Structure 1
Amino acid sequence: MHPYTQALLSAIPVPDPEVELRRKRIILEGDVPSPVNPPSGCNFHPRCWKAQAICREVIPVLEEKQSNHYAACHFPG
């Protein structure tokens, strides 16, 4: 449900060449944040296409967003 997980899953090749040509991959833009000096709020917000002001300020809590689906994200799904 987390946007980073969605991007990772979109990178998995599909064995059917016709489906592979039609599917949409999520390409992350920007640089990977420094592990020594991580950004404030959500560590993923500099590369997230869903990021909003709250993502830059508040670290999201890992919580169940759907039955047996957990994410530390303000805007999962």
Structure 2
Amino acid sequence: MSALLAGDPSRTVAMVDEPVVAGSPEQVVGRPDALLDAGVDRIGIWPFPSESFAGQLTTLADDVLPHLCRR
């Protein structure tokens, strides 16, 4: 890891940002499809910040997951 961090900082940022899905439902809907198309077979959910956990799961269930279930 230290070798990675000692390299190009933009590469480190890209490695963190590429697999992360975050944003409004409209921004998020297409990202899981792109990850699945790239060969990802599991997607973990980590709502953040935790004090809005229930609201985030409701939004995920209502506005994002229905789009993924069409696959």
**TM-score for both structures, normalised by structure 2:** 0.24
The structure with the largest helix share of the pair is: 2
